[in-house]
Amino acid sequence: MARSQKPVRWWLLFVIIVVAILGAVVIWISEAGHRQDKILQTSLVVIFTTFLGILWLLGFSRLSWRVRLIAFAAVLFSVFLGANLFQFKGFSGDLTPIFEWRWQEKLSTFLQDPSSISNTEGPAMDYPQFLGQNRNGVVTGIKLNLDWETHPPKLVWRWPVGAGWSDLAVVENSAITQKQEGDMEAILVPDKSRACRPAGATS
């Protein structure tokens, strides 16, 4: 007498997905933590759910081995296809991963120009927020000589801030940042005249 095949454990996959969704909802409705922490926690939920899904497919699904192998090959092909279609460019200011099409036109932070000798030449541009104008860490329109052995970068301005906790925001002649002073965080606005004035402090 032929042995009947046991039913597929779809319920186990359903539990994995529901728990992952509930976990993501709890992360985002919670008032505790910063947005960066929530994005990081959500990424961990996605990774862990993917791992459990593959574990269910290969070890606990009760699907036929032919179906299991075809599904697993489809997962691997999707990863391979994604790696060849997209490239990882880093993270945004809130730790969101940035992916771009591999054939997308690349904007270089520094545009090589052999005739440019000075690092300070070129139009003045504001850098008004974290990671620049578009929050992508890219500065365009600046021509910089990349031969640093012949023309090394020159230090044109410096201001000691002690323990710093933020990026600079540059607007016209002012560079805005903050530093730690004991239990307080002071906002500083150094300017071109090298005078540094505290703009305020928070606990």
Structure tokens at 94: 């809130």
Own/partner pairs for 197-203, CB < 8 Å, 24+ apart?
A: none
pLDDT of residue 25: 95
pLDDT of residue 151: 83
β strands within 74-203, DSSP E: 86-91, 97-101, 111-112, 143-144, 169-171, 174-181, 184-190, 196-202
**In this structure, are strands 143-144 and 111-112 parallel, antiparallel, or unpaired?**
parallel
pLDDT of residue 109: 43
pLDDT of residue 191: 65
Model's pTM, two decimal places? Answer: 0.55
Burial of 127-151, coded b for 16+ CB within 10 Å and e otherwise, reads beeebbeeebbebeebebbeeeeee
The number of CA neighbours under 13 Å toward the Cβ of 34 is 6
pLDDT of residue 11: 95
pLDDT of residue 36: 84
End-to-end Cα, the chain, rounded Å: 77
CA 37, distance to chain mean position in Å, is 12
**In this structure, are strands 184-190 and 196-202 parallel, antiparallel, or unpaired?**
antiparallel
Which of 173, 178, 177 shows the shortest CA–CA distance to 191?
173
The ranges of the chain with pLDDT < 70 are: 1-4, 93, 105-125, 164-165, 188, 190-203
pLDDT of residue 105: 61
pLDDT tens digits, one per residue of 34-62: 888 899 999 999 999 999 999 999 999 99
